[in-house]
Chains A and B, each alone.
Chain A
């Protein structure tokens, strides 16, 4: 049944390899951004009442730097996803018509492609980057929570949480992509999606900094599972029970969002305008 999606998985994997140069440039941009964040946090901790040794909302300065670096690597490896743009292009060029008459699910095609992307990104960049980041941060004493051999259990859970995050990201990108059926353009929707995710997933700053009420709401939303939770699992800031709870929450959201996407698509497909094709 799933065999027919294998070519898309393969194409996604190969596609990512073909754009190695883009990925390197992207890394250059990211280094500048991370440096800016590090300077900011340095100033924040220096200015805090407890000085450099202070713990702010459960994070010491070293843990915060580790958090910034690891969420950046995580985002880079996990969110390499063009689903929204591809749907947008399909709509603009009218190629969406081709897919609608083929005996495969439009959703399945994107899910397989982005899993292919994830596979290549994880093997090609994830493994060396996580290793380098963890070893460097660990040796510098920036990961005080890490203990062996418990770390390996966390690493396993982290990989599952990362897979969940990638699927969540792809589902949300797909939902926003399907919304392009209504607007015929993806620019605005894409920036809206990016903003929501980066703020509510804890990429911009850990959710612990949010005011209590907002934090409680965000905790139950799918976004925390897309960046903050996997990274905190890896850093061993969550114990096993908490880690499993996070993964269960993400898995539930994947099911809910997939169902929502299905309903949305069946409505949206009636709205689609095929321009040529």
Chain B
């Protein structure tokens, strides 16, 4: 309970400091929408030139794109501070203050930033899914809806866990931002159906960096019923549990190795 209260107090403060640059925040939100719009337009223009993409129609590809935004948006809302830890904060010696406070460092990192831009992503993703779903002719089952919800929510947990684990490496190497960027960018692969990739990339996207497990497979399940939705949900939750506990373990391990860089 104390932590819930503490979290909201910290987030309130972060929002106030963010609003110091009102104009920039508005421009950032706008440019964020615009950038997603451009990517979508690009896919739309490409699909105008061909009948289907590896058998997937325009609304289906749009659905993939929209759905891929949900777990990414949820992660974006809560864990944006990890980017700063990986890129700058350890290197600049800014982490010292967190180690002096009687609250777990990882909690403080999460309480440092709440990123409202994530809402933009969430709204855009849901809007896109809705528009595309209206143009689809699939029989929606309870299981398919369940697996999509599980994919979005637990997918976010998996993304956040990956970020925690790699950001933690900054405690040892001082800077792990570029590595985080490389891993995170693999989420772009999940914006398209797995069918367009060669076998080894599919395996990578399901078992190693499981963006495909919680984005592509659930959407495929909805569209074509390729997997048993309940088993897939279980698999996603299981993966999320493994990723989450491993990343917390890595964080704790790396945290002990922290040496201040001075400031």
Q: A residues within 8 Å of B by Cβ?
A: 22, 25-26, 28-29, 32-33, 36, 39-40, 42-44, 46-49, 56-57, 182-189, 191-192, 194-196, 198-199, 204-205, 209-211
Contact = CB atoms under 8 A, between A and B. Distances in A.
A176 B251 CA distance: 39
Contact of B53 (A44, A186, A196): A44
A32 B30 contact: no
Contacts of A36: 188-189
B38 interface: yes
A40 B46 CA distance: 10
B97 interface: no
B38 A195 contact: yes
Interface of B: 21, 23-32, 34-35, 38-39, 41-42, 45-46, 48-55, 178-179, 181-182, 185-186, 188-189, 192, 195-198, 201
A191 B186 CA distance: 20
A39 B27 contact: no
A114 to B, nearest CB: 22
B188 A186 contact: no
A33 B186 CA distance: 8
Given A32-B182, A32-B186, A182 B42 contact: no
A30 to B, nearest CB: 10
- In this complex, which of A43, A184, A199 has the most chain B Cβ atoms within 10 angstroms of its Cβ? A43
B53 A43 contact: yes
- Name A's interface SS: helix
A48 B197 CA distance: 16
Contact of A211 (B45, B54, B179): B45
A16 B28 CA distance: 28
Contact of A47 (B24, B34, B45, B53): B53
Contacts of A32: 182, 185-186
A40 B54 CA distance: 10
Given A185-B21, A195-B31, A204 B50 contact: no
A56 B45 contact: no
Contacts, number: 110
A39 B24 contact: no
A144 B26 CA distance: 47
B186 A205 contact: no
Contacts of B197: 39
A199 B23 CA distance: 23
Nearest to A198: B38
Contacts of B186: 32
A5 B21 CA distance: 33
A129 B29 CA distance: 36
Contacts of B51: 47-49
15 contacts: A33-B188, A43-B192, A44-B49, A47-B55, A184-B23, A185-B21, A185-B23, A185-B24, A188-B23, A188-B27, A188-B30, A189-B24, A191-B32, A191-B35, A204-B39
A26 B178 CA distance: 7
Contacts of A199: 38, 41-42
Given A22-B178, A39-B196, A188 B49 contact: no
B92 to A, nearest CB: 14
Contacts of A40: 192, 196
Contacts of B38: 195, 198-199, 204
Nearest to B197: A39
A209 B45 contact: yes
